[in-house]
Amino acid sequence: MSSQQDLPDISGLRILVLDDDPAIQRSLSRALRGLGGKVTTAGSIREAGMRMDSSNFDVLLADLKLRDGVGLDLLPLFQKKFPEGHFYLITGHGSVKNAVKALKHGVRDYLQKPVDPIELAEKLQHRAVVQHRSVLETRLDPFLLFRDPVMAEALADLPRFAALDEPVLIRGETGTGKELVAMAVHRISPRTSGPFVAVNCGAIPEAMLESELFGHERGAFTGAASRHRGRFEQASGGTLFLDEIGEMPLQFQVRLLRVLEERTIQRLGAELPLAVDVRIVAATHRDLREDVEAGLFRRDLFYRLDVLPIHLPPLKDRRKDILLLASHFLHRTFEEMGQADRHPSFSPEAGQLIRSCPWPGNIRELRNTMTRIAVRVPENMHEISADYVVRFLNAPQQYHSSNRGESISIPVGTSLAEAERILIDATLKRTDFNRREAARQLGIGERTLRRKLNAK
C-alpha cells in the first residue's frame, strides 16, 4: 500500500469529470480532490459543454456511453477550447476496442471501469499536464482569466515587457483591469520580491501630491509632525503604479519627468536629493495623445512613459470571456462566503443574456453583478435563469420586453453571419429570452434557433 509520500500530486490541475452516474462523480471527485485536483462534475454532454463555456480545464475525463450521447462527441469542442488539454475516456470492458480506436483521434488515454483514482492521477502527473499551462495563466492574477483572442493579443507582449525595466503605459476604459495588469507586470518581473505600491493620481488633492509622492521632513509645513516617506521611497526596489496618470496636474508633470530622468527625489524640507530605484507602470482611461495636442498633458512626459504600451479592450469586445469571468466571480463569492461546494450553472438563456449585455462598467460591473447574484441566489437553485439574472443588472429595463418598439441598426458591409447574430440577439432580448416566441418572430423553428445559438 502506498504511503502518503508516494501518492501522486496533481495540485492545481483543473479536471472536468463527465459521468451520468452520481456515485461515480462523487467517488472520483473526492479522490482527485484529495490529491490536490480542482474538480468540476457534469452529468450530461450538454452540462459538460456549459461547464467548458464558463471555466478553463486541463483535463476532461469522460464516460464513453452517456444517456444523451457518447462522451467522445465532446472531443472536438474540448480540443478547440483547450488545445493543450488532455482528454481521457472511461470505458467498460465491452467497449475497449472503441476506446483504443479513439486514441488515433486525439484521446490521451482510456481507463476501464471501475477507475482507480491513483492510477489516473499517476497518468496525469507523469504526463506533466500542468507544465503545458502558459505563463499568463499560471503566474498572473486569477482575475486575468481570458480565452478571447482579443485579450490574448493585448497581453501577448506582457511577459517580455515585464522582463525589462522600462516604463509601461496601460490604456483602457475604467473597469478593464488596468491595476491587475500592472500587478502582473510586477509579479513576473525581476522586481517581484520588491514592493508594489499603487497611487491614484486623480484622487490626491494637488496641494498634497508632492508630499504624497516624494515625502517630507519633519516641520516642512504646518502639521508635518514627523518625517514621511513618499510613495517613491516606499516602492524602492519594486514597482510604483501611477493610476490615472492623465489626471495629474500639468504643473506637477514637469516634477515627475525630472524624477524619471534623474532617478532622484527630494523630500519637502530636505536639503539633499535621495536616489530611488523604482520601475514605473502608469495607467489611464484617457487618450493621452489627444491630451498632448490639447495642451493638457506634457509631450515629453508622454514619450517618457509610452515606452512599452499595453491597450486593454473593453469587455464588450471580449465576448468569449464574459461567461468565463461571470462564473469565476460567482463561484469566488461562494468561496468567500464559505460555500465553496455550491456550483449553480447558468441556463443557456441566462448565459446568452450575460454575453449580450453591453457591460459599460466592464469587468468591475460584471464582478459586482455576479456578487449580487451569488449573495441572493437560493440554495436550492441549481440553474440560474435569465429572468433571475435580469433582476440584478444595473439597467434591467434595457432587457425587458417593454422595448418592443425598438429597432436595430446593421451597418452596410456587415457579414450575413454577423447580421444574423445581431438580429437573433435583439429578438431574444425583445422576447425576454423566450426561445419559442423569438423563433416565431424570426420565422424559424425553435430547433433551428437552438442550433444557431449553440454554433455561436
Of 12, 64, 66, 77, the closest CA to residue 39 belongs to 12
The string of pLDDT tens digits covering residues 74-124 is 888 888 888 778 888 888 755 555 555 656 556 777 788 788 877 877 777
The string of pLDDT tens digits covering residues 358-379 is 899 999 999 999 999 999 998 8
Please name the residue that has the C-alpha cell 516617506: 229
Tell which phi-psi region holds residue 41, choosing left (phi > 0), alpha (psi between -120 and 50) or beta: beta
Contacts of residue 353, defined as CB under 8 A and 6 or more positions apart, other chains included, come to 386, 389, 390, 399, 428, 429, 433
Tell which phi-psi region holds residue 180, choosing left (phi > 0), alpha (psi between -120 and 50) or beta: alpha
CATH class of 316-454: mainly alpha
Distance CA 162, CA 156 (A): 11
Delimit the CATH 1.10.8.60 region(s) of the chain. Answer: 316-454
Tell me, which fold does domain 149-311 have in CATH? Rossmann fold (3.40.50)
Q: Is 202 helix (H, G, I), strand (E, B) or coil?
A: coil
The string of pLDDT tens digits covering residues 17-30 is 999 988 888 888 88
The string of pLDDT tens digits covering residues 53-71 is 888 888 899 988 888 888 8
Query: Can you read off the three cell numbers belonging to residue 134?
Result: 502558459
The pLDDT-based confidence of 131 (bands split at 50, 70, 90) is: very low
Distance CA 331, CA 345 (A): 10
Of 264, 308, 317, 263, the closest CA to residue 282 belongs to 308
Contact indicator for 19, 43 with CB cutoff of 8 Å: yes
| pLDDT attached to residue 53 | 83
- Type of residue found at 31: A
Of 219-223, 250-254, 292-296, 372-376, which range is least confident? 219-223
Q: Is 196 helix (H, G, I), strand (E, B) or coil?
A: strand
Delimit the CATH 3.40.50.300 region(s) of the chain. Answer: 149-311
Delimit the CATH 3.40.50.2300 region(s) of the chain. Answer: 4-132
Strand partners, 15: 39, 59
Percentage of the chain lying above the pLDDT 90 cut: 34
Q: What superfamily in CATH does domain 4-132 come from?
A: Response regulator (3.40.50.2300)
| pLDDT attached to residue 448 | 79
